[in-house]
Each structure stands twice: as C-alpha cells, then as structure tokens.
Amino acid sequence: MQTIVVDSKEQGAEKICELVRKELDAGHLHVLGLATGSTMEPVYEKMTESDLDFTNVTAFNLDEYIGIPATHKNSYAYYMNELLFSKKPFKETHIENGMAEDLDAECVRYETLLKENPLDIQFLGIGENGHIAFNEPGTSPESVTHVVELTESTIAVNSQYFTEDETMPVTALTMGISSIMQAKKLIVAAFGEKKRPALEKLFAGVVSTEWPVTYLLDHPDVIVITDLKL
C-alpha cells in the first residue's frame, strides 16, 4: 500500500488526476470505477478542467440510493452527470438502477457487467465508520453487488444533503467488497479529521469486518491520498 500525503484536498485531486493521466498515457485505463460524495467533488472538478480524454473509457459507479429516480438532485446518477458526465464524454457510463422493480435482478445485471468489463482503476472514499461504497461494518469480504440497509451513522452524515421535507433513502445498491477488490488498482481519497479513525484502522494493518476499509489490506495495488499525517 502506497500513501501520498498532501496539503489539501485540492492538491489531492491534482495527484489523482496525475495518476489517471499516467495510466491513460500508458494505455492501461479502459474501465474506471467512480465514487461519489464530497470527497470526490474536487477530483471531478480537476478532471473536467483538464485535457484528460475519456472517450475510450467505460465508467462504473459504486452505488446508488434505492427509491429515488436518476433525475432527483440527490441521486448519484444526477451527481455524476452534473459533476462529470455532462462535461467529459465517456465511451459508456453505468450506474445501478435504484428504481428497478426487481432489485435482486438488478444486482445480478450490474455484477455481470462488471465481470464483462474488469475495472482497471477504482476510486474510493472512506466513510467515517470505515465503510467503502455502501459496504457497512459487518459486510462479508465475499459480497458482490447487493442491496444494503444503511447504518444510522451513514444516514446521519448523508442526510445533510436532503432538505427537511425530503426523506432520505435508508437502503441502497452497492458494489460488494469482492466486486471492488477485483479492480487492478485502487485509489483511495481521505480528507479531513473525520476520516482519521478509519485511516488509523487501515494503517494499523489488521483486517476487521467491523472496519470494511481494512479489507483493502489484502489488495496488491492500493494508493491512499490523504491530507492527514498519521
């Protein structure tokens, strides 16, 4: 595991773009896994300002809420379109359908697509409770794309994006731990003091189901970019 310490999330975003450019220039980036949340906002801003060319790259997103349409301002489909896809064309883009009538079938469909399009790079943020994607504490390392019930901790953090008259979803579709670990390279972004406990668990070097981020210790190519000195 490689760690790159930066002075700010903006500098971290620049580093991520540099890593992506290196893989593109080498012809190694064909499928890119994307993440959402405030951590990724400066990353996508830097990407859209750059001359990075994704027209031959297929994108997959980690997760999506269940029960709100793609047109909802708090759906991750809307987030991705606003921040990246409307500004940078990709060969193809994929995100789970949180409005699917048969959610189990949707999980199978998405996991099948992932197997047909192996991830070269997967972006990851880290939840305050150590979750990666929406894989909450206790998630099996063998998990593939699945339906998840969000923890109170995650709901409390994410509810800030919903207004008082909106009900935040309490379930979501997410790539599983196994799905994520299939990526050839993982680029993890973690900025701010609230992420310190999760990073400390990761750097302690012990895999624990209660801290899903520690599963990354078993991956051969992980780059952690953070503004925290641990």
The catalytic site residues sit at 63, 129, 131, 136
| Strands annotated E in 10-81 | 31-34, 58-61, 63-65
Alpha-carbon distances of 121 from 11, 44, 90, 129, rounded to whole Å: 20, 15, 15, 23
What is the C-alpha to C-alpha distance for residues 192 and 138, in angstroms, rounded to an integer? 24
Nearest to 63 by CA among 140, 146, 119: 146
Nearest to 116 by CA among 159, 203, 39, 179: 179
DSSP state letters, 108-170: HHHHHHHHHS--SEEEE---TTS-BTTB-TT--TT--SEEEEPPHHHHHHHGGGS-TTSPPPS
Structure tokens at 149: 């019930």
Q: What is the DSSP letter of 84?
A: I
Alpha-carbon distances of 102 from 30, 107, 146, 160, rounded to whole Å: 30, 9, 12, 29
Q: Are 142 and 178 contacting, i.e. CB atoms less than 8 angstroms apart?
A: yes
